[in-house]
Amino acid sequence: MKVRMRRVAVLGLLALAVAGVGAWTSNAIGAGGDSPTAVTRFTLELNGNVIASFAEIELRSAVAAPAVREVGGKIIVQPSGATSTTAPPTVTLERGLTTDLELSAWHELALTGAASARKDVSVAMYDNVGAAVARYDLENAWPVKLDLKGGTTELVTESVTIVAEHMQRVSP
């Protein structure tokens, strides 16, 4: 019975870790009167200058889940860093195709493997009146993928996937 209780407790802690502690604290969405804000524009900035604006974003940052195993009737939780690696932060931005060549040039520099392709950039998010809502700083970032998608009856879109060594949300 004690082993089963321990299993339930460990599984509960893992569920909390997966759901995110923020869901159980005053920092949860909507806590303290803070409500979600609609974001209508995303920008990619280098040295404080906007180099591109986008209509869509996908931002990913993840930590590997800890390994859980049973040894001799005891449940062992092994920290994720001890057995696995964490994927680097990734941002994918999408916009309608433009004549601007800055993203293409940056991607071509990354394709050559040049160290200068790694740049400190920011992704900023703005609401419909142009007020900054959120900002993420990306350290040593570079474009790993540049895609075009479209057809004769639809708008051609350009998307860029950027990988960074470190990402941090900062004050907008």
Q: What letter does residue 87 receive in the DSSP assignment?
A: P
Answer whether residue 126 is part of any domain.
yes
Q: Count up the domains in the chain and report the number.
A: 1
Write the pLDDT tens digit of every residue in 21-61: 444 444 445 555 567 888 999 999 998 899 999 999 999 99
Q: Give the Å distances, CA to CA, from 93 to 89, 90, 171.
A: 13, 10, 20
Query: What per-residue confidence (pLDDT) applies to 80?
Result: 56
Residue 135 pLDDT > 90? yes
Residue 172 pLDDT > 60? yes
Answer whether residue 133 is part of any domain.
yes
Residue 19 pLDDT > 70? no
Answer whether residue 42 is part of any domain.
yes
Answer whether residue 152 is part of any domain.
yes
Residue 5 pLDDT > 90? no
Give residue 156's domain range.
Answer: 37-64+85-170
Residue 167 pLDDT > 90? yes
User: In this structure, what token pair is assigned to residue 89?
Assistant: 């932060």
Q: What letter does residue 86 receive in the DSSP assignment?
A: P
Answer whether residue 113 is part of any domain.
yes
User: In this structure, what token pair is assigned to residue 7?
Assistant: 């299993």
Beta strands at 132-151 and 49-54: parallel, antiparallel or unpaired = unpaired
For residue 125, the domain's CATH number is 2.30.110.20
- Structure-model confidence comparison of residues 77 and 56, the more confident one: 56
Q: What is the pTM of this model?
A: 0.71
Answer whether residue 147 is part of any domain.
yes
Query: What per-residue confidence (pLDDT) applies to 37?
Result: 83
Answer whether residue 78 is part of any domain.
no
Answer whether residue 75 is part of any domain.
no
